[in-house]
Structure 1
């Protein structure tokens, strides 16, 4: 069983909107799996000059597994290496979502003590993975939802901030 097998489409004719949205799969499954598998390595890649190539490779994997491409390319993704409450963080800003629950942005926060010069042993760091999602509104007013994923489950924190990086970081500071 491969990493993205759960995204594979069933054989035979299918409607264009059948299966997991590749935009959703990219933010909620592919990036999450990579980031939580090795959070420090993810932060290093996100801050490197190779970040766009990395994102492009992940987008290609998602397209292959979903049977169609995302609505955006790697060049339209913005990565913001930053800190949340003094913890290392990378905010991945995505193009505006089209569908409910797709992400405006995601953040990988690594809650480690950075006051020491010694990094933790590989495999001992636990990252946190947050999403700022397009929410549902009965009044058709724009709405965001702040959520967090671990390796298995999705936690919904309710109404999120405006979909901009500074507001997202401020909201994350209340949860880290």
Structure 2
């Protein structure tokens, strides 16, 4: 299986990427191919809403979104990795998702499998409610087949995250998907 991981934290060694590392360890142990794209440090720009793509591309902007599109058209599973910022996706990941507009039909037709890995400082039980709903709505709209979520609360720093159950949950999710 081909797995495309989209990381979106400005902190390359942050908590959400720590969850991603553990997830990837699980799927790699099962022998699957993993490609990682760091959206937070890529050459990406917001959707202009210009309609130049006609929802079937190509986008008029010449940036790294072309790499994401190519990878999504060749993968079996996409993994969205994000820190929780003000109870939603990071701006970096949201920008990528907004740019799906330029190939919406082709992406929807793929019926990709998907996973959400998110890390939040806050440990309250309601912390992940909105990001979970956003992800589920995105899956419904794009015909993605949700394979699971790891919603890490109390994961404000990598050291905090390491002391939680969430890295192990990410690893186990990777093993289940990979197996």
TM-score by length of 2: 0.30
Query: Which has the higher relative contact order, 1 or 2, with Cα contacts under 8 A spaced 6 or more apart?
Result: 2
Judging by fraction of residues, say which structure has more helix. 2
Indicate the structure (1 or 2) with the bigger Cα radius of gyration. Answer: 1
TM-score by length of 1: 0.30
